[in-house]
């Protein structure tokens, strides 16, 4: 629960899947959670989360996870005896007695040699994930993953789980299909972006998000378009921040922003630029498309699968090619109109109601 408020990525997926599965008349959904997280998060998210049935444990989530991993106790049935399916909405483990266990695995990034910067923290995290996946491969009845790309890579690293992998795509949070909220428009005014041409980078500056390419491309864009703003949202690694600030005021580092602000930024951006090196799915691509944005992304990992022909896809190791693609879009209103319309149509194929229905069918197959 701690990840569903102010969430991106896996936290957004967990929230939307939970809400949309719970809306189904053929599901009786209960939530198992850290008592402290429950007390803190429910007032923040409100809505249907106030009405769900909860079962809580007193330990911190991380400690409870460690206990489950080491001892295989207590079973999920000790919290709710009628449970049939236990669904971990991210990579984690809850022991079961008679219920079926389903785990959502978002990607195989920590097993790839090129998806993260290879420092000591990476190898430490890789070891943790290897131990976790060894446990999961012995105990999980079904692995849900979010793209065929992720399924292929997980099968590559863990052949024993291939027959238990099921692909259900992520989707667009419904409000991104709607008009920009007033809070979002106010945010654009506050940031002096209303009516201003800008390129939006929604992934922050990280190795995995191709920060090196972004920082190599920025001076080329600024030199050719001195009035253009490059707006970077989401958290960034400290190692890239000093280099990025050298491009101010053309470059704006906004950090984490609310969904209302993100909605407005997607909708107002001249181009949404997502040159990521590795994505299990790539939520910003279809969120931006739902808002009518023109998307330029890397032709890498899952992004071609998700974007289809509704985005301009470019090699992930060529800064000058990304710059050329952005400049083409800046100077071609007809191309922008085409990609905006194609993007909206593409995004409409990814709804959380449909994802919840597909997931429910997979649940039924286990019973």
Per-residue tokens: 207: 């190795």
Q: Which helix (H) or strand (E) holds 51?
A: none
Q: How far apart are CA 167 and CA 146, in angstroms?
A: 6
Per-residue tokens: 276: 């990521």
pLDDT at residue number 6 = 87
Instruction: State the residue range of the domain holding 317.
Output: 174-347
pLDDT at residue number 17 = 97
Q: Is 165 in the same domain as 254?
A: no
pLDDT at residue number 116 = 93
Asked if residue 3 is part of any domain, the answer here is: no
pTM, rounded to two decimals: 0.96
pLDDT for 49-66, tens place per residue? Answer: 999 999 999 999 999 999
Q: Is 20 in the same domain as 38?
A: yes
pLDDT at residue number 136 = 98
Q: Is 105 in the same domain as 196?
A: no
Asked if residue 339 is part of any domain, the answer here is: yes
Q: How far apart are CA 169 and CA 343, in angstroms?
A: 17
Domain of 143, CATH number, reads: 3.40.50.2000
Q: Is 71 in the same domain as 204?
A: no
Q: Is 145 in the same domain as 184?
A: no
pLDDT at residue number 7 = 83
Q: Is 254 in the same domain as 335?
A: yes
Residue numbers of the chain with a pLDDT score lower than 50: none
Nearby residues of 366 by Cβ (< 8 Å), 6 or more positions away: 85, 100, 102, 141, 142
DSSP per residue, 66-77: HHHHHH--S-GG
Per-residue tokens: 296: 């330029």
Q: Is 340 in the same domain as 192?
A: yes
Asked if residue 126 is part of any domain, the answer here is: yes
Nearest partner of 176 among 357, 10, 344, 355, judged by Cα: 344
Contact 250, 222 (CB under 8 A): yes
Q: Is 107 in the same domain as 206?
A: no
Question: Distances in Å between the alpha carbon of 72 and those of 82, 86, 129?
Answer: 19, 14, 17
Asked if residue 234 is part of any domain, the answer here is: yes
Asked if residue 231 is part of any domain, the answer here is: yes
Asked if residue 1 is part of any domain, the answer here is: no
Q: Is 281 in the same domain as 132?
A: no
pLDDT at residue number 277 = 97
Could you give the strand order of the β-sheet that contains 229-233, starting from the edge strand earlier in sequence?
A: 251-255, 229-233, 198-201, 271-274, 295-298, 312-314
Per-residue tokens: 292: 């009518």
Asked if residue 145 is part of any domain, the answer here is: yes
Cis status of the peptide bond prior to 6, with omega within 30 of 0? no
pLDDT at residue number 176 = 97
The torsion angles phi and psi of 222, rounded to 5 degrees, stand at -65, -40
Q: Is 336 in the same domain as 362?
A: no
Total domains, the chain: 2
Q: Is 19 in the same domain as 146?
A: yes
Q: Is 190 in the same domain as 209?
A: yes
pLDDT at residue number 8 = 85
Q: What is the sign of the dihedral through the CA atoms of 80, 85, 86 and 87?
A: negative
């Amino acid at each position: 629960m701690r990840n569903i408020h102010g969430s991106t990525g896996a936290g957004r997926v967990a929230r939307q899947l939970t809400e949309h599965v719970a809306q189904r008349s053929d599901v009786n959904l209960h939530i198992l959670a850290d008592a402290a997280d429950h007390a803190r998060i429910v007032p923040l998210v409100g809505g249907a989360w106030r009405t769900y049935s909860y079962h809580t444990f007193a330990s911190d989530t991380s400690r409870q996870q460690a206990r489950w991993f080491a001892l295989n106790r207590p079973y999920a049935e000790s919290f709710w005896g009628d449970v049939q399916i236990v669904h971990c909405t991210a990579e984690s483990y809850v022991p079961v007695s008679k219920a079926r266990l389903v785990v959502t695995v978002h990607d195989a990034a920590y097993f790839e040699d090129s998806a993260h910067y290879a420092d000591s923290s990476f190898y430490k995290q890789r070891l943790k994930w290897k131990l976790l996946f060894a446990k999961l491969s012995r105990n999980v009845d079904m692995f849900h993953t979010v793209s065929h790309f992720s399924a292929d890579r997980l099968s590559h690293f863990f052949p024993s789980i291939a027959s238990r992998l099921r692909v259900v795509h992520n989707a667009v949070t419904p409000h991104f299909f709607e008009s920009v909220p007033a809070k979002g428009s106010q945010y654009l005014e506050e940031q002096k972006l209303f009516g201003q041409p800008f390129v939006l980078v929604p992934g922050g500056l990280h190795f995995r998000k191709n920060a090196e390419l972004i920082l190599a491309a920025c001076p080329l864009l600024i030199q050719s378009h001195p009035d253009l703003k490059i707006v970077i949202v989401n958290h960034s690694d400290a190692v890239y921040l000093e280099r990025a600030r050298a491009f101010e005021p053309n470059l704006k580092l906004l950090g984490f922003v609310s969904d209302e602000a993100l909605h407005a930024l997607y909708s107002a951006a001249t181009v949404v630029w997502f040159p990521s090196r590795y994505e299990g799915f790539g939520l910003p691509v279809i969120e931006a498309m739902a808002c009518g944005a023109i998307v330029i992304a890397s032709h890498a990992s899952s992004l071609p699968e998700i974007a289809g022909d509704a985005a301009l896809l470019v090699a992930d190791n060529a800064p000058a090619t990304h710059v050329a693609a952005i400049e083409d879009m800046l100077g071609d209103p007809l191309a922008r109109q085409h990609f905006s319309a194609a993007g909206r149509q593409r995004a409409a194929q990814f709804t959380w109601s449909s994802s919840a229905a597909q997931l429910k069918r997979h649940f039924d197959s286990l019973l």
